[in-house]
Structure 1
Amino acid sequence: MFSFFRKLFKNGVAFRRRSLPNRASYPASTPQVTPQVRELLNVFIGDHSRTELQANLRLSDRENFRINYLVPAIENDVVELTIPDKPKSSKQRYRLTEKEKKARQE
């Protein structure tokens, strides 16, 4: 196997990693909101439990909802927990952040 790579390098062929754009070149103030998060934001009126949100979106898989909808919304600071100290509480509810409420009014 190593002889194969030696032949490539002897012939002047070298593998190059694709250069990716520098992360610093992207502005930090523009969060990338996925279509799933946009769909989640459309059903928000007040505080909701996870099951209410899932029912409104007609989703049955809890894990899919958490990974693709809820976690990205929380990470993008558009949804917040009503009990942030206890994220696994059975009484946990979710609401829009003040930042997102202001963005909706504009």
Structure 2
Amino acid sequence: MSVALEVKNTYEDFILEKDILYFRVGEHGLVSFHGKNYHIKKRLNTEEIQKMTSDSSFFKVNTDCYVNTRKIQHIGDGKVYFEVRGSESKYTTITKLRQHRLKEIVLQQKGEA
């Protein structure tokens, strides 16, 4: 008897809203996706990038970086934290101008949940 297991290849088959903490859009369509303990670079076309950056689950924190608002643990001191593990915390920087707005969005989402 043979049983085939469905194995999810995180590097090719990730779900943007579920698996990605934040992503950075680079030159020539190169996008760097950051997950819990990995990061993946993929080249995407303009339409795919436009669709991702307009997704309401993601918020633009600086010129090239978008964070998953559903994965945020804490916002403070110009940083957005995704995990709380001391020095191993995953974070990215945020401009002070956008920090206040992001806090409002996160509080609103937690209120709806």
Shorter-chain TM-score tier: 0.3 to 0.5
Please identify the structure whose Cα radius of gyration is greater. 1
Q: TM-score, normalised by structure 1?
A: 0.34
Q: Which has the higher contact order (CA 8 A, sep 6+)?
A: 1
Q: TM-score, normalised by structure 2?
A: 0.33
More helix as a share of residues: 1
